[in-house]
Amino acid sequence: MLRPPVNKNEPRVNERIRKSPVRLIGEAGEQLGIVPIEEARARAREANLDLVEVGGSADPPVVKIMDWGRVKFEREKKAKESRKKTAVIDIKEVKFRPTIGDNDFNIKLHQSINFLKKGKKVKVTVFFRFRQLRRPELGTAILDKVTEQTRDVADVESRTRLEGRMMTMVLAPKALSGTKHAPAPAAAPAPAASAAS
């Protein structure tokens, strides 16, 4: 009879527990003492539950009577929930050269703005070639120009000086709700103030 493969991250359950004697804990958490493994398995069967090794490194090993299927299901459900809650941040990279032409610059700038409008972060990278490394101000000028052109849709999250052969900046999109509704409250109090006076 072939056994299913053992998952190293899961505890030993029922017949997989080999050591004897064991320290037995009941379903409600009460200490039932040190008993032979056969007796612990028999008690678990009587309660229609599983025997699960919860402290395999202890001497003697600690085992508990529980509904392993339900516990395993709840663990998987919690792990799934936590994976759902972790936000996946999508970062798109747009690469520039220090001596980029106006047309190419505008195309890459347009790409960056489109990514930002879709709610993605943009990593702007300026790559330097050999002699260009002597002129880091060219890269700074490009990053300044990108910052200026995207100020309505993005905030600068981080910016680095020349590191190796590149200079980088990360742009984060401004909150869409903040940019859409920001002008409305500013405009609403002005007529109210003029009406009061």
State the average pLDDT for the chain. Answer: 80
DSSP labels, the chain: -PPPPPPTTSPPBGGG---SSEEEE-TTS-EEEEE-HHHHHHHHHHTT-EEEEEETTSSSPEEEEE-HHHHHHHHHHHHHHHHHHS----EEEEEE-TT--HHHHHHHHHHHHHHHHTT-EEEEEEE--TGGGG-HHHHHHHHHHHHHHTTTTEEEEEE---BTTEEEEEEEEPPHHHHHHSHHHHHTHHHHHHHH-
| pLDDT tens-digit series, residues 71-101 | 889 888 888 888 777 766 778 899 999 888 9
The boundaries of every CATH 3.30.110.10 domain in the chain are 91-175
Q: Indicate whether 142 pLDDT > 60.
A: yes
Q: What is the pTM of this model?
A: 0.46
Superfamily designation of domain 91-175: Translation initiation factor 3 (IF-3), C-terminal domain (3.30.110.10)
Dihedral of CA 180/186/189/191: which sign? negative
| pLDDT tens-digit series, residues 18-71 | 888 889 888 888 888 888 989 889 988 988 998 988 887 888 889 999 988 888
Does domain 1-67 correspond to CATH entry 3.10.20.80? yes
User: Nearest-CA neighbor of 171 among 127, 129, 128, 109?
Assistant: 109
Cα first-last separation, the chain: 92
pLDDT of residue 80: 86
The boundaries of every CATH 3.10.20.80 domain in the chain are 1-67
The rounded distance, in Å, linking the Cα atoms of 118 and 73 is 36
User: For residues 125 and 93, is the Cβ–Cβ distance under 8 A?
Assistant: yes
- Per-residue pLDDT band for 6 (boundaries 50, 70, 90) equals low
- Per-residue pLDDT band for 8 (boundaries 50, 70, 90) equals low
pLDDT of residue 104: 92
Q: Locate 183 and state its tokens.
A: 């002008």
Residue with token string 């009460």 = 30
Q: Indicate whether 196 pLDDT > 50.
A: no
Q: Locate 37 and state its tokens.
A: 């493994």
